[in-house]
Structure 1
Amino acid sequence: MTTVPFLDVPAMARWVAHRGPEAVIGRLVDALAADFARWPDLDKRARIASHSRDGVIELMPAADDVTYGFKFVNGHPRNPARGYQTVTAFGVLADVHNGYPTFLAEMTLLTALRTAATSALAARYLARAGSRTLALVGAGSQSEFQALGMRAALGITHLRVWDTDPGAQAKLARHARALGFEVHEATSGEDAVTGADVITTCTADKANATVLTHDMVTRLARPGVHVNAIGGDCPGKTELDPAILRAADVYVEYEPQTRVEGEIQQTPDLVVTELWEVVAGRRDGRRGAPATAGPGEAFARHAGDRRTPDDTTVTVFDSVGFAVEDWTALRFVRDDVPAGFLRHLDLVADPEDPKDLFSLVVAAQEDDRADAREALDRLMGLAGRGHVDALAHR
């Protein structure tokens, strides 16, 4: 029998608690950096999305020459009002050699961890040195993870929090204070971004919203603020004033996907840089060694014309979530989680003769007949004893 290890939701939560969420995110940042540095060698494609009036359901595949993986994930902004999570997900790894699944895991918690780690990876290269204050516009399921990611990457100590839902804002403030952050509960988006070194926007409405304006970025935030835009992640769903994008240096994960789903769907001619190029040293970020390699692959062809960001440059990471990040996270968990946290599923049909799949049905029929005979034998035995007992008491 070939079984597949499976990490369910309670076990994932136990693993995160066991390792510590901030430590997990920090280690995921390093794992992502290693995979981003070998980006050209990976099999990548934009996610496969099925949109409806209620939300979107997506498949997100990625692979190298050893391991294939995919994530199944939804995004339904109205779900919380109906008692459901906005996002739920699971993921699968498989062996490229034979196609067999090798690992299954819940990915609702894991997606929050990998999103925070990806944000932290971008901030490692793009935020100003000495950044200590993070503005969080949107206090939903991602927010605590984002705060921990930015502390792991930058040493963030202060949070300025705003959400149109007072309950969500209070929830984040409560958790963040328990995690050791200084928290300012803002009265507006403008209040939240005042004096911020980094701004993360993470709202759920499936609309072309403007939760962050150019004036908020240039007048209220600190000069050279880094904007981490993670809420816009499908066609027709954005958060930023397009003027911010036109005035900033903009970085993305995978341009073909971000052009359709990200903030830059509003600015189709905008020149952007893929983050992997910065991680691999082909392009300049604000922090880290200057680029020494030649031009990147397709979709970064004009990036060489851009200046290196300085401490007055606004940088934007237009993050929509990309399959390589999930693939990295799944492999990281598979290799790190203790065996005792795992269940095993009999998921692979594995007949003795690989060409005789029907033998599994024949064996099951024989098992059913054997079970039926055993049940009848038990029934007849009980009936016999009862008949004898009844005769003895006449």
Structure 2
Amino acid sequence: MVEYIGIAGIQRIVGRMGPAAFIEGLAAEIEADYRRWGDFDKSARHAIHSPVGVIELMPTSDGQMYSFKYVNGHPKNTALGLLTVTAFGVLADVETGYPLLLSELTVSTALRTAAMSALAAKWLARPDSRVMALIGNGAQSEFQAIAFHHMLGIREFRLYDVDSQATDKLARNLEALGLPGLQLKRCRSAAEAVQGADIVTTVTADKRNAIILTPEMIAPGMHLNAVGGDCPGKTELHADILRRADARVIVEYEPQSRIEGEIQQLPADFAVTEFAQVLSGAASGRSAPAEVTIFDSVGFALEDYSALRYLHKLQQEDAQGQQHIDLIPDLDNPKNLFGLLAPAQGSPAGQNGAVSIQLEMTHDEHPA
């Protein structure tokens, strides 16, 4: 039996811990894995693009465990009442090839993206940062706000979205959490939102080369957390922001970011720093308070590996909450796979010689 975490499972796990504590714990797991960057088999994700979206597979392995994530990105889905991003993932044992965990990753991707954003900002933003502009107030925005409030001490969020109802939704959800010292300011434009901000997070969904931030919006000392530009032809920053003499651009995995990140707008020899180099001390993050740091975030498979490993650990710690799915056959004789389908000895086959098979379902799979 393979362990299984569905929507009810992630609700239970995060509900038990609280989203802030979950994100902080996940950020610690991601940092630990980035610190052993050299252990991982790394590749850019495999993407199949269509005019309306993308479907991707994101694999990696450290030689002990293997993981992959299936994820889509369809910005127009919200008009159909559907999510822009959905995902699931698998964690497997390399020695046997057997899957250990099948898990939802739609909610978990939002949690891990927020964890990665806050982790990068801890190393790149000014330590005295207290004000953040949050541009793009859709499905990922609450997670980003919780992460930055909890892990970096952000007290004021300046909110903007072209859809004012999305901003209203974000404000309601954050106010309902009762986060201590939290201040929210609704803004009428991206330019207004960035005024006085120490950190600017952009998390928009349009699959196009959008310009959410322009050079004149950027002040010395800002940290830019560019999350929404995460596939070919999808960007959020004017290229001249990246070219600033006082700017430092940090990426997750350079070969993937060259294809999908903000730096897809620039020549292949444009200098960037991988986040793992900052953690190892091989490269500096922020070198001066007035420097502009840019985290060109596209999401990398290592972060999903960390999330799946973290979820697997939390699931195993909760014996009563464990769920399983009969994904892999359990055989007395591993050479007799057909025996699963053969009728029991002495019992007749089904009508017209068809084999009668009874499927085993775990308690959470039985129809209501």
SS of equivalent residue, structure 2 residue 264: helix
Partner of 2:294: 316
**Which consecutive unaligned segments of at least 5 residues does structure 1 have?**
287-308, 372-394
Do the aligned partners of 2:13 and 2:314 also contact (CA within 8 Å) in 1? no
Partner of 2:242: 245
SS of equivalent residue, structure 2 residue 145: helix
Question: What does the per-residue CA deviation read over 1:192-226, in whole Å, with 9 as the maximum and x for residues that have no partner?
Answer: 111001000000000000001111113xxxx3000
Give runs of ≥4 in structure 1 deviating > 3 Å: 363-371
How high is the sequence identity, in percent, across the aligned residues? 53
1:21-32 map, 5 Å: 21-32=19-30
1:362 positional shift? 1.2
Higher helix share: 1
SS of equivalent residue, structure 1 residue 354: coil
Partner of 2:215: 214
How far apart are the structure 2 equivalents of 1:13 and 1:214?
Answer: 41
CA shift in 2, pair 1:370/1:260, >3 Å: closer
Partner of 2:278: 278
Do the aligned partners of 1:258 and 1:265 also contact (CA within 8 Å) in 2? yes
Partner of 2:201: 200
**Which consecutive unaligned segments of at least 5 residues does structure 2 have?**
352-368
**Aligned residue identity for 2:37:** W
Do the aligned partners of 1:160 and 1:183 also contact (CA within 8 Å) in 2? yes
How far apart are the structure 1 equivalents of 2:280 and 2:61?
Answer: 19
Do the aligned partners of 1:13 and 1:109 also contact (CA within 8 Å) in 2? no
SS of equivalent residue, structure 1 residue 12: helix
Question: What does the per-residue CA deviation read over 1:41-86, in whole Å, with 9 as the maximum and x for residues that have no partner?
Answer: 1111110101011100010001112110100110000000011100
**Aligned residue identity for 1:327:** Y
Do the aligned partners of 1:7 and 1:341 also contact (CA within 8 Å) in 2? no
Question: What does the per-residue CA deviation read over 1:114-153, in whole Å, with 9 as the maximum and x for residues that have no partner?
Answer: 0001101100100001111110010011101111111232
CA RMSD of aligned residues (A): 1.7
CA shift in 2, pair 1:64/1:174, >3 Å: same
Partner of 2:52: 54
Alignment coverage as a number of residue pairs: 344
**Aligned residue identity for 1:312:** A
CA shift in 2, pair 1:58/1:368, >3 Å: farther
**Aligned residue identity for 1:233:** D
**Aligned residue identity for 2:243:** R
Question: What does the per-residue CA deviation read over 1:256-307, in whole Å, with 9 as the maximum and x for residues that have no partner?
Answer: 0000000000012320000011112211122xxxxxxxxxxxxxxxxxxxxx
SS of equivalent residue, structure 1 residue 71: strand
How far apart are the structure 1 equivalents of 2:73 and 2:320?
Answer: 32
1:62-141 map, 5 Å: 62-141=60-139
Partner of 1:191: 192
Larger of the two Rg values belongs to structure: 1
Q: 2:168 aligns with which of 167, 170, 174?
A: 170
SS of equivalent residue, structure 1 residue 91: strand
